[in-house]
Amino acid sequence: MVEVIRGHAAGGYSSVLPPEISKPVLDAMGRVPRHEFVPRRRAASAYEDRPLPIGYGQTISQPYIVALMTDLLAVKAGDKVLEIGTGSGYQAAVLADLGVEIYSIEIIPALGKAAAGRLERLGYDTAVTRVGDGYFGWPEAAPFDGIVVTAAASYVPPPLVQQLKPGGRMVIPVGRPFMMQQLVLVTKDAGGKPRTRVLLPVAFVPLTGGH
C-alpha cells in the first residue's frame, strides 16, 4: 500500500503539493490496519488504493487521498485537529497514530457510533467523536491546529475558518456535489488572515446537513 501512495500524479497541480508524502505519514498509514475500518466482506480489498463503501451511501476514502490530506495538515504530536466526516474512523486513526488529539464529527448516527466503538477497541485513545452537523465545528474544543473536512462543501464553512488557530491549516474539498471538486488548502497567518489555495481535483461524497 505504501508504494502506491508514495508519488503524485505528474504535472499541472499546485506547487503547494509536497513532491511526495512524508515518511511519518507513510509510516502511520503502514501501521493503521485499514481492514478493521471496512465492512468484513470488503476486507480483501482493504489495501487497494481506492475508496470502499462503508454503508449508508458513504465511503472510506482512498488511502492516497487520506495520506495527502494528512500530509497537508503538517501536524506534529500534541496538535489538536478537527475532522468533519468521521465515516469509518480511518482518517481519525491515522491522525491519532501521529500523536494528534483528534475531534471528529459524523452526521450519520449509526456510522458515528460504529466508528467510536472501533476507535476505542483499537486503542486510539486520543480520538474523541460526536454525532452532529460538522458545518458548525466543535466550538467548545476550538481553536484547532488543523481541520480536515472529508466531505465536499459548496464553500468553506465560516465557522470552521473561525475555529482554525493562527498558523493553522485546513484541508477541504470544495465544489458541487456528485461532480469533481477541488481540494483546497486554507491557511491562517499569524495575524489570523486566511489564505485559500486550490490544489487538485478530487471526488468526495457531499457535506450534508441543514446548515
**Which residues are known to be catalytic?**
61
Query: Which of 151, 174, 199, 202 is close enough to bind ligand SAM by CB under 6 A?
Result: 151
Contact between 49 and 21 under an 8 Å Cβ cutoff? The reply is no
Query: Which of 2, 74, 133, 197 is close enough to bind ligand SAM by CB under 6 A?
Result: 133
DSSP class per residue in 61-98: PPHHHHHHHHHHHT--TT-EEEEE--TTSHHHHHHHHT
Shortest Å, Cβ 112 to ligand SAM: 8
Would you say 76 or 211 has its CB closer to ligand SAM? Answer: 211
Question: Interface with ligand SAM includes 108 (CB under 6 A)?
Answer: yes
For residues 128 and 48, what is the distance between their CA atoms, to the nearest angstrom? 27
Query: Which of 85, 146, 168, 175 is close enough to bind ligand SAM by CB under 6 A?
Result: 85
C-alpha cell, 97:
497514530
Number of residues that this document lists for the chain: 211
| Binding residues for ligand SAM (CB under 6 A) | 58-61, 84-85, 87-88, 90-91, 105-108, 111, 133-135, 150-151, 204-205, 207-209
